[in-house]
Amino acid sequence: REFKKLWLEEIDFVNNIYIKDVEFVGTGPLLPLATMGLGGGTQNYLCYPMFPQADPASNADRPFGGRNHMFKGGAIIGGALNPAEDVDYSKITESVANSWYDYPDGVDSLHPSEGITKLNARKEDAYSFVKAPRYKGQPMEVGPLARGLVNQYPGLMALIEAGVKPGVVARHYCRAVESQSIAEAGPEWIDRLTAMALEGTIVGMKDKDIPKSAEGFGVYDAPRGALGHWINIKDQRTKDYQIVVPTTWNASPRDEKGVMGPYESSLIGCPIPDPDNPINIVRIIRSFDPCLACAIHVIDPESNNIKVHKVV
């Protein structure tokens, strides 16, 4: 009961403060940045399914529902308004061409099910501890904007029709409107969970026999974006385990073809009046909601040294 009360308070905050603030700023003082698509970067977008629904019919009243999920998965390549395609998980790779890692036999790119994480801190020309995930050989932005474009959020599509381009402002807008949708769905989820608890029908973790050998993977769209886990079991033990997290997609360095990752391409054209206080870089990167534990660094183009800035 108390949890539901707190949730209802959050609905009030999202509906009456958060969404209104984002809409006001995005269509007011930040409208010029929205129409120029500042911080847009790549024109490729990827998301996995999110919030599975027990009853297919329960999607009927969801603003972005589809395929028995509150948010469907999909991939868009080559343009924000291109139709979304089903994700072919066999087409996901990770390159280490410019990362401080090595693959066997000089290979630059592998599927996560075959990948390893072998550090080489002295690797020549490498500049990142992040690998470079690719889908069909393309860098992909993941997160709220990708979900918004794949699921065609009505408000987002209306803004695009009015001249807004994918970028910092659209990214924040998508995060706000999906927060609103999730917040409003919450009370029903709480009621269902409460009923299941009273009925004793909640199913927790089930112990299962570990197979002698097996391969598998699981994917889900986390708030920051596409999250995937790949496992290889041999002799009833975990032989290999690789995780491709949202910030790895967005923060990826150049791949073996020299193609930039989403963060890198989003910074092209970014105005930096004061190189010693690159606040605009921070504003663009923060719109992706980066996981700071993954690897965030600014490298001097002349010395190749990592620069340290205090941003306030």
- pLDDT tens-digit profile of 255-290? 999 999 999 999 999 988 888 888 889 899 999 999
Q: Give the homologous superfamily in CATH for domain 2-202+241-307.
A: Cytochrome-c3 Hydrogenase, chain B (1.10.645.10)
- pLDDT tens-digit profile of 73-128? 999 999 878 889 999 999 999 999 999 999 999 899 999 999 999 999 999 999 99
- pLDDT tens-digit profile of 29-79? 999 999 999 999 999 999 999 998 766 555 554 545 455 789 999 999 998
Residue-wise DSSP of the chain: -HHHHHHHHHHHHIIIIIHHHHHHHHHTTTHHHHHHTTT---S-EEE--EEE-SSGGGGTT-TT-BTTEEE--EEE-SSTTSPPB---GGGEEEE-TTBSEE-GGG--EE-TTT---EE-TT-TT--BSS-EEEETTB--B-SHHHHHHHHT-HHHHHHHHTT--SSHHHHHHHHHHHHHHHHHHHHHHHHHHHHHHHHT--------PPPSEEEEEEEEEETTEEEEEEEEEETTEEEEEEEE-HHHHHH----TT-PPPHHHHHTTT---S-TTS-HHHHHHHHTT---TTT---EE-TTT-PEE-----
Q: With 60 as the cut, is the pLDDT of residue 8 above it?
A: yes
Residue-wise DSSP of 14-44: IIIIIHHHHHHHHHTTTHHHHHHTTT---S-
- pLDDT tens-digit profile of 166-225? 999 999 999 999 999 999 999 999 998 899 889 888 877 778 899 999 999 999 999 999
pLDDT of residue 53: 78
Q: With 90 as the cut, is the pLDDT of residue 130 above it?
A: yes
pLDDT of residue 63: 47
The residue extents of the domains of the chain are 2-202+241-307
